Structure formats: structure tokens, C-alpha cells
């Protein structure tokens, strides 16, 4: 994953959370590196190739997330009324909106400012969620218009947010993946716009959390790595309790999670890079598709509204890769790189709106 980890501690071109624990963004953790050794997830950001990043964030911005939000530049464009595809860039501090179904690599139609955005996600109504690494908040924008108005922000007291999922982000529960928790291991925060974040789920089977998923029946999962750096998935029935370690998981590494129209879990295997599709995982997983190769190294990606296409954030090539999706095949269609740059770390990708499962 390319989470906030990479930006605030040390950079690694194309990695997940694996460097800083808790809220200290300048001190790498002793967690075992995951993947190729050059890739790590640091304090909330999955990144490739690390460099010293602590100096990039002014000291006055680090203590209070709200102060950072206040300093974020206004949006470059107003909502356009189009539905399409979002892509986030960690270092550029922005989320671009692109016209959907357009293989011509046209420029973005709008852009939202952010502070080290990690994975991004939409719900079935097109509301956009930004797990913002720099501010330790979840910022929600109204859909289905691209780059719609901000609905509100939620401060995450449990750690640095890496991913988010919701059936209706405006009124319902938003689950938030935390790369690491404030006391060490990562997990899932349970939040709403009205109430904030009020519960944190974790299981010792996962140390660093990358992707998360929420089912219509209220079950949720996180996918990350355990203390030995091995991929592990945790199942939380009705998003509660201590969770159970999933069996039958074939992933070699952590990666993003999603749920397709048939309720299958779609799991990215970072650095391999490939995609696995599982059914069940409550906690026993049954392989129903894959592994399907990805066009480029990706940590996060999401399905479209009817579950027939998948878009992945290809950090290796600085692009959004679009695929035709089914449990039988994943077929590469085209890429978008207009307005994106490899050096800015393309972190998250999402269709607007998201699959209704």
C-alpha cells in the first residue's frame, strides 16, 4: 500500500504502511519490511522508495489535524455534474476527477486539494471519502457529481487512516482502516459524520492494515500483514468483536479490498502484482477467481457501479489502470495518466459511484 507511512517518515517507491507506528510521523517503526524490501508502509501511507519526508511537513501543521485542513488550498474546480473516476496523489496533495468511460486520456475535469491522501473510496451514491494522512481525518464530499461540496470531516483518534468504506457515507457508518493504531497495531475504526469515530476493532493476526471492506449485512474485513510481514485478513462479524483470522487467503502481500456485485471479496496482491477473488472469508475463504495479473504495481483499486470494471492506482507508472472485471478474467482496457506523475505517488483510485454489491 502507499499509505501515509511513506510520506511522513521515509519514502519507498511503491509500498504500503510499514515504517512509523502511532501518530509519530518522523520515527520509523521496527516493523519487518514487507514485499521487496524497498517498499514499506509508513504511519499511514503505502509507498515505494523512501526519502526523508518529515521535513516536508511544517511543525505547526503536525499536532492538530483541523489546523492542517484550514490551510488546504481551495478546490481548483467546482463540481461538474459528471460521474467518472477519481485518482489521488499522495505527494501532490490532490484528488483528480476524470470523465468515466473515456479511453482518450483526457485531462481531469476537476480537482480537490488534500493533505497526503491515502486510498480513496466512494459509496453507491457517489459520495467520496478521503482518508487524509496529513490531517488524520476522513473528509467526505457529496456525490454523485465529481468534486462535489464537502459534507464534513471526521477526526480519527485511533491512528492514521489508510482506507475507508461505507454504504452511505452521508448518513451511515463509515469504516476506516488505520495503518497503525496509536498503541501499535492497526485496525478498523467505526465512525459516522454525526458521531465521529467511536470504536476501534483490531486482532493480533494483523499488524499493519492496508485495505478494508464493508458488506451490506454489516460484516467487515481488513487486509494487511502480521508481525512477521505475511499477508493476513481479519473478519469482523457485524463489524464488532475481536475478529477472526481468515483462512485460505492466497495473497503474498497486503493490498486493497473491495466487494463485487456478487458479494465476493476482491483483493489486490501488491508488488506481485495481481488480483485474487474470494467468497466467504467469514472466516474461511474460497478462491473463486485469479490470480489475475495487473498492468502495473498497485496497492489500491475499486469496482464501478455495476461491478463490471475495476480501476487500480498504478504507482509504478503514475497512472489509473482500467480493467474489464469478472470472476473469470481481468482484462486490461486503458490507462489514464494525464494530470498524474510517478513522482507524486498515485495512491488511490475509485469509480464514481461504487459497486452496489
d(CA 325, CA 175): 25
Strand order in the sheet with 137-141: 121-122, 128-132, 137-141, 150-155
pLDDT, tens digit (0-9, with 9 covering 90-100), for 157-169: 999 999 999 999 9
d(CA 87, CA 300): 10
Do 281 and 346 form a contact (C-beta atoms < 8 A)? no
Where is 4: in which H helix or E strand?
Answer: helix 4-8
Query: Would you say the pTM of this structure is higher than 0.95?
Result: no
Q: Measured between alpha carbons, how far apart are the two ends of the chain, in Å?
A: 24
Does residue 298 register a pLDDT over 80? yes
pLDDT of residue 101: 80
Q: What is the mean pLDDT of residues 38-59?
A: 36
- Average pLDDT across the chain, whole number: 82
pLDDT of residue 317: 97
Q: What is the mean pLDDT of residues 269-293?
A: 97
pLDDT of residue 297: 96
Does residue 345 register a pLDDT over 80? yes
pLDDT of residue 174: 98
Confidence at 183, pLDDT banded by 50, 70, 90: confident
d(CA 137, CA 159): 10
Confidence at 82, pLDDT banded by 50, 70, 90: low
Go through the domains of the chain in sequence order and give each one's CATH number. 79-351 (2.130.10.10)
Do 227 and 207 form a contact (C-beta atoms < 8 A)? yes
Q: What is the mean pLDDT of residues 223-243?
A: 96
pLDDT of residue 28: 25
pLDDT of residue 216: 95
pLDDT, tens digit (0-9, with 9 covering 90-100), for 7-43: 333 223 333 333 333 333 322 222 222 233 233 344 3
pLDDT of residue 351: 96
d(CA 257, CA 210): 8
Q: What is the mean pLDDT of residues 108-121?
A: 96
Q: 171 phi and psi, to 5 degrees?
A: -125, -15
pLDDT of residue 75: 44
Does residue 61 register a pLDDT over 80? no
215-220: long-range contacts, CB 8 A cutoff, minimum separation 24:
215/259, 215/263, 215/357, 216/167, 216/263, 216/357, 219/282, 220/165, 220/175, 220/188
pLDDT, tens digit (0-9, with 9 covering 90-100), for 134-158: 999 999 999 999 999 999 999 999 9
d(CA 272, CA 288): 19
List the one residue out of 281, 42, 321, 35 whose CA is nearest residue 159.
Answer: 42
pLDDT of residue 236: 98
What would the DSSP string read from start to end of 48-109? Answer: EEEEE-GGGS-GGGSS-HHHHHHHSPPPSS---S--EEEEEETTTTEEEEEETT-TT-PPPS
d(CA 343, CA 268): 22
Amino acid at each position: 500500500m502507499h499509505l501515509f507511512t511513506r510520506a511522513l517518515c521515509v519514502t519507498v517507491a511503491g509500498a504500503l504502511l510499514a515504517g512509523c507506528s502511532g501518530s509519530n510521523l518522523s520515527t520509523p517503526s521496527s516493523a519487518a519490511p514487507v514485499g521487496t524490501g524497498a517498499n514499506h508502509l509508513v504511519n499511514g501511507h503505502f509507498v515505494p522508495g523512501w526519502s526523508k519526508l518529515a521535513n516536508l511537513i511544517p511543525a505547526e501543521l503536525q499536532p492538530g489535524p483541523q489546523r492542517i485542513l484550514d490551510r488546504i488550498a481551495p478546490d481548483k474546480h467546482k463540481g461538474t455534474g459528471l460521474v467518472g473516476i477519481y485518482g489521488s496523489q499522495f505527494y501532490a496533495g490532490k484528488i483528480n476527477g476524470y470523465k468515466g468511460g473515456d479511453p482518450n486520456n483526457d485531462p481531469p475535469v476537476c480537482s480537490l486539494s488534500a493533505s497526503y491522501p491515502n486510498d480513496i473510496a466512494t459509496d453507491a451514491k457517489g459520495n467520496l471519502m478521503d482518508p487524509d494522512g496529513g490531517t488524520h481525518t476522513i473528509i467526505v464530499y457529496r456525490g454523485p457529481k465529481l468534486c462535489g461540496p464537502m459534507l464534513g470531516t471526521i477526526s480519527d483518534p485511533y491512528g492514521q487512516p489508510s482506507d475507508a468504506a461505507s454504504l452511505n457515507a452521508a448518513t451511515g457508518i463509515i469504516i476506516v482502516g488505520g495503518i497503525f493504531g496509536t498503541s501499535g497495531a492497526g485496525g478498523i475504526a467505526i465512525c459516522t459524520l454525526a458521531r465521529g469515530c467511536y470504536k476501534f476493532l483490531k486482532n493480533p493476526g494483523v499488524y499493519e492494515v492496508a485495505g478494508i471492506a464493508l458488506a451490506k449485512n454489516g460484516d467487515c474485513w481488513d487486509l494487511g500483514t502480521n508481525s512477521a510481514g505475511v499477508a493476513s485478513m481479519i473478519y469482523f462479524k457485524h463489524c464488532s468483536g475481536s475478529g477472526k483470522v481468515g483462512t485460505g487467503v492466497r495473497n503474498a502481500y497486503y493490498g486493497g479490498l473491495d466487494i463485487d456485485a456478487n458479494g465476493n471479496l476482491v483483493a489486490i496482491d501488491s508488488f506481485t502484482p495481481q488480483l485474487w477473488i474470494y467468497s466467504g472469508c467469514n472466516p474461511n475463504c474460497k478462491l473463486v477467481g485469479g490470480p489475475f495479473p495487473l498492468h502495473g504495481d498497485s496497492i489500491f483499486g475499486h469496482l464501478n457501479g455495476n461491478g463490471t470494471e475495476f480501476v487500480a492506482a498504478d504507482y509504478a507508472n503514475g497512472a489509473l489502470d482500467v480493467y474489464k472485471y469478472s470472476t473469470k478474467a481481468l482484462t486490461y482496457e486503458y490507462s489514464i495518466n494525464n494530470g498524474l506523475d510517478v513522482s507524486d505517488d498515485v495512491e488511490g483510485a475509485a469509480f464514481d459511484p461504487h459497486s452496489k454489491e
